[in-house]
């Protein structure tokens, strides 16, 4: 089994895709007006409109209601990324901080309120883990 993507369902697809294009500095691939993907070397962040969910059934999701998932991106230098994105992000939860497990992390929310973590391994153990 191979985890290939994570999908966010939103009622406001265009602004959310534009937000992720800015913070990841990557262009999205739009397949339809209701579905786009941002593809990295290790996985895909898919973003679909609420209209796509009718293909699976009704009442399955509540957009902008995530309370337990953090979407994480490994970045080369979290402090540089903070400087690059801070004017595009309206809800910084935590400025770059070195965590006890050896990652330096920046935590913020996307326009739908999902938690996003940009992190850089800084301890020898964390660097080895992500090498």
Query: Based on the domain organization, do 124 and 80 belong to the same domain?
Result: yes
Which domain does 37 fall in, by range? Answer: 1-63
Query: Based on the domain organization, do 79 and 59 belong to the same domain?
Result: no
pTM metric for this prediction: 0.94
| CA torsion, ordered 10, 11, 15, 18, to nearest 10 deg | 30
Q: Give yes or no for a contact between 8 and 115, defined as CB atoms under 8 angstroms apart.
A: no
Looking at the structure of the chain, the number of domains it has is: 2
Half-sphere exposure (CA, 13 Å, Cβ side) for 85?
A: 30
Q: What is the CATH number of the domain that holds 29?
A: 3.10.180.10
Of 15, 44, 63, the residue at which a domain comes to its end is 63
In tens, the pLDDT along 10-57 reads: 999 999 999 999 999 999 999 999 999 999 989 999 999 999 998 898
Query: Based on the domain organization, do 123 and 108 belong to the same domain?
Result: yes
């Amino acid at each position: 089994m191979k985890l290939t993507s994570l999908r966010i369902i939103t009622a406001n697809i265009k602004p959310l895709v534009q937000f992720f294009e800015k913070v990841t500095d990557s262009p999205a691939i739009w397949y339809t007006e209701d579905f786009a993907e941002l593809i990295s070397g290790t996985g895909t962040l898919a973003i679909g409109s609420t209209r796509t969910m009718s293909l699976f059934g009704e009442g399955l999701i509540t957009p902008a209601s995530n309370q337990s998932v953090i979407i994480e991106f490994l970045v080369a230098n979290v402090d540089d990324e903070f400087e690059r994105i801070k004017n595009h992000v309206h809800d910084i939860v935590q400025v770059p901080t070195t965590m006890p497990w050896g990652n330096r992390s920046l935590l913020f929310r996307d326009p739908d309120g999902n938690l996003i973590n940009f992190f850089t391994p800084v301890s020898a153990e964390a660097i080895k883990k992500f090498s």
